[in-house]
Amino acid sequence: DTAVSQTPKYLVTQMGNDKSIKCEQNLGHDTMYWYKQDSKKFLKIMFSYNNKELIINETVPNRFSPKSPDKAHLNLHINSLELGDSAVYFCASSGGAGINQPQHFGDGTRLSIL
């Protein structure tokens, strides 16, 4: 029944490793997003995809590479993890990329870098 699901929920790894986070939505939405929430709970958009095409890339380091195999999935791969990457990463989806389209969020992936 989960509308937007992310895996894993927790990710603990060492600096320098490469990791991936997966996201799937079963809402039939066209647009998907990745957000980063820092320790102060500030939520900031990283990427958005509309029908598998990248439409927002918010000056995120190129160590972060999103991939959308189909419009129901948007995965996030992170290379050479750094301490500053520790955060909660949220996936979201919406019916479209225009205004007045509520975004629905997953439960987040808590990434901790040792």
Partner 1 sequence: SQELEQSPQSLIVQEGKNLTINCTSSKTLYGLYWYKQKYGEGLIFLMMLQKGGEEKSHEKITAKLDEKKQQSSLHITASQPSHAGIYLCGADRETSNTGKLIFGQGTTLQVKP
In the complex, least distance from residue 80 CB atom to partner 1, rounded to whole angstroms: 27
Q: Based on C-alpha coordinates, what's the Rg of the chain?
A: 13
Contact residue for partner 1 among 104, 112, 113, 114 (CB under 8 A): 104
| Encoded tokens for 51 | 């029908």
Binding of residue 50 to partner 1 (CB under 8 A): yes
For partner 1, the binding residue among 20, 51, 101, 112 (CB under 8 A) is: 101
Out of 71, 74, 81, 90, the only residue in the binding site for partner 1 (CB under 8 A) is: 90
d(CA 83, CA 108): 18
Asked if 59 is part of the footprint of partner 1 (rule: CB under 8 A), the reply reads no
CA–CA gap between residue 53 and residue 12 (Å, rounded)? 30
Cα–Cα nearest to 92, from 53, 38, 49 = 49
Residue 28 in contact with partner 1, rule: CB under 8 A: no
Per the listing, tokens 């590479």 go with 65
Binding site for partner 1 (CB under 8 A): 4, 31, 33, 40-45, 48, 50, 55-56, 90, 92, 94, 96-108
